[in-house]
Amino acid sequence: MKKFLLAILVLTLSCGLLLTGCGGQQSGGEEPAKEPEGGAAAGKVFELSFVSEYMDKHPTVINGFMPWIKSIEENSGNQVKIAYYNPNTLCPQKDTFDSTISGMVDIGSSYCGYYPGKFPLNELMELPLIVPGAEAGSLVTWELYQKYPQWQDEFKETKM
C-alpha cells in the first residue's frame, strides 16, 4: 500500500510540481524588487494557494500533499504558508494548468491526461502495458523529464 501511495504521489507531484510557481512572471523593463535588510524574507510571510484534483480526505492529500506542505512551512520557519483547496474551488478542475500558469493559483497539481495534445511525450506513459505499474510509471516519467530536454520543453511554461 505504501509503495502504491508513493507511486501515486511521485506521479502526481511530477506533473503537479511542474505547475508550481508558474504565475507572476516579470515582464521586461521592470526593475526587480530589492531585498530588504536581513535577507529575502526579513519576516514576511508568503501565503500560497494549492489546488489539485483530490479532495482533502483523499490518501494522496493526507499522506503526500499535507506532509509536503508541513515540511515546506517548517523548513521556511513558517514564512511560507500553503493553503490546500479542494478541486473546483479556486478554478474548474480542467483549468488547473492554465490557472497556475496565469497566476490565479500558486501551486497546481493535475493529471496531464486532462490536457490532450498539450503533453504529447507524456501521453506515451498513458498507453497500456508501457510500464508494469504506477510506481514504475512515476519513476520512468521523472527520469525521462530529467534526462531529455524535449520532455522538459513540454513543461516550459512552468518552473520546477
The domain segmentation of the chain, as residue ranges, is 44-110, 115-159
User: Which pLDDT score, from 0 to 100, does residue 160 have?
Assistant: 62
Is residue 111 over pLDDT 90? no
Q: Please give the Cα distance from 1 to 6 (Å, whole number).
A: 9
- Band (22; pLDDT cuts 50, 70, 90): very low
Higher pLDDT: 25 or 42? It is: 42
| CB 76, CB 95: distance < 8 Å | no
pLDDT of 114-152, one tens digit each?
Answer: 889 999 999 988 899 999 998 899 899 999 999 999 999
